[in-house]
Amino acid sequence: MPHSRVTVYERGKRPLAKVAITGGGRCNLTNSFEGIPSVETAYPRGARLMKRLLKEFSHKDAFEWFENAGVKLTIQEDNCVFPVSQDAMEIVNTLLSLMHKHGVVIRTQQKVTKIATGRNEGYDVFTIDKEGKTNTESYNVVVVTTGGSPKISGLDMIQDLGFDIVTPVPSLFSLCLKNNPITELTGTVVENVTSSIVGTKIKAEGPLLITHWGLSGPSILKLSSYGARYLQECDYKTNIAINWFHKDNEASVCEQLTSLALNNQHKQLQNVYPQRFNSRLWSYLLHCSGLNPMLRWAELGRKGQNKLVATLTNQQFVIDGKNRFKEEFVTCGGVALGNINPSTLESKKYPGLYFAGEVLDVDAITGGFNLQAAWTMAFVVAKSCIK
Ligand SMILES: Cc1cc2nc3c(=O)[nH]c(=O)nc-3n(C[C@H](O)[C@H](O)[C@H](O)COP(=O)(O)OP(=O)(O)OC[C@H]3O[C@@H](n4cnc5c(N)ncnc54)[C@H](O)[C@@H]3O)c2cc1C
């Protein structure tokens, strides 16, 4: 649409400021989707919509789009995609220079306060600048891309239009523990565990990181995403269980310990342990199982082994609050998907009014899926506007 007038209103000083800080300043802009068994796994909210939209503009399309725009990309071993430069500013500058080239006007420090149906066809966009000066402009088409906001006030601008809103709550956080000595093992990573919220079916797999406030790492972040609403409802006070042996059940762990005991009968428990642990974490786990670390493997006995197996496969932790993960939060909730046409992202009630990105009730686990949702939706909306 080379002849159309496109204006972006940004309340902040700099456009794309959020993109600049993504992925710790490196911008994890998408994911290869290898190892993602289903779209549902990546998008706890909005999977059905994303499944449909990804057919229009997939992670491969995003990859190609950025490479065509001159950004060399690399796929990490964990399937996350980053610019080779490892610099999020390359993404920001590429987008800004393309906008500049195509005549998109960016108005920074202009907060949109209200979007209303105009007198003629189209919409009036009300703004206020940093000096408090207000302005109103009319447009045929308006796309709301105001991102996530854990506070409902972030959606005040569309309040009068009567959209259904799914109450926003935070997602992607680590979990705090109260007075648990495991926090002394800060920095310890266990490659693959299963974490679950006790009393629910909510569970997640992946590496676990012990921090000085509690538990973090991909497994916990995923758990916080899958359980975002449940955890908010219980005020982030609940019990979680860790299976330190990933998917292995009690019988399998029992077998592994029996074999370890047979091969190391005269060695002390503290000196021989499964490879997935370091010695400090192993000592902690022995302590939690009420076992003397100086005991020899031959002396463990059935009772001792059962206690150890119970700790290793189902250790419970009392959660007392949440914490930010590298300042990364996304919003679960937002404009309800029932308000929009799933093929175009246009409002069902207001033709020419679109939504894209985290403002919608769509959010993902970490790994580049949230930005992929933003690119995909932007593409779909743009295509629909052209039509
Ligand atoms: C620290 C951090 C790191 C992250 N890292 C990653 C990552 O590596 N990979 C990934 O996939 N996802 C990451 N995410 C999530 C990802 O950044 C977001 O999901 C994504 O940016 C959402 O894009 P969006 O365009 O919908 O909203 P945003 O990028 O949030 O953009 C919305 C913009 O609208 C502006 N705005 C809001 N209200 C108004 C208003 N009333 N008037 C005018 N302007 C307004 C805001 O200032 C903002 O600039 C990260 C998030 C955070 C917080």
Q: How far is the centre of ligand 1, averaged over its atoms, from the C-alpha of 289 (Å)?
A: 44
* Atom of ligand 1 minimally distant from the CA of 148: 30
**pLDDT attached to residue 288:** 97
Chain centroid to CA 168: 14
* Whether the predicted pLDDT of 327 surpasses 70: no
For ligand 1, is residue 328 a contact (CB within 6 Å)?
A: yes
Sequence-distant (6+) residues with CB within 8 A of 178 are 318, 320
**pLDDT attached to residue 258:** 95
* Whether the predicted pLDDT of 76 surpasses 70: yes
> Residue whose CA is closest, atom 3 of ligand 1?
22
Pocket mutation for ligand 1, best pick of 8, 16, 18, 172 (most atoms within 8 Å of C-beta): 18
Q: How far is the centre of ligand 1, averaged over its atoms, from the C-alpha of 356 (Å)?
A: 11
**What is the distance between the alpha carbons of residues 178 and 168, in angstroms, rounded to a whole number?**
27
Q: What is the pLDDT of residues 184-224, one digit of tens each?
A: 999 999 999 999 999 999 999 999 999 999 999 999 999 99
> Residue whose CA is closest, atom 53 of ligand 1?
328
Sequence-distant (6+) residues with CB within 8 A of 24 are 326
Report which DSSP code applies to 267: S
**What is the distance between the alpha carbons of residues 254 and 238, in angstroms, rounded to a whole number?**
28
**What is the distance between the alpha carbons of residues 303 and 309, in angstroms, rounded to a whole number?**
10
**pLDDT attached to residue 326:** 62
Q: Which helix (H) or strand (E) holds 223?
A: helix 218-226
Query: What mean pLDDT is predicted for residues 49-78?
Result: 98
**pLDDT attached to residue 264:** 96
Query: What mean pLDDT is predicted for residues 356-361?
Result: 98
Q: How far is the centre of ligand 1, averaged over its atoms, from the C-alpha of 23 (Å)?
A: 12
For ligand 1, is residue 185 a contact (CB within 6 Å)?
A: no
Band of pLDDT at residue 183, cut at 50, 70 and 90: very high
Percent of the chain with pLDDT over 70: 99
Report which DSSP code applies to 227: T
Q: Poorest-confidence range of 10-24, 304-318, 326-340?
A: 326-340
Q: Furthest-apart CA pair in the chain: how many Å?
A: 87
Q: How far is the centre of ligand 1, averaged over its atoms, from the C-alpha of 20 (Å)?
A: 10
Q: How high does pLDDT run on average in the chain?
A: 95
Percent of the chain with pLDDT over 90: 93
> Residue whose CA is closest, atom 37 of ligand 1?
146
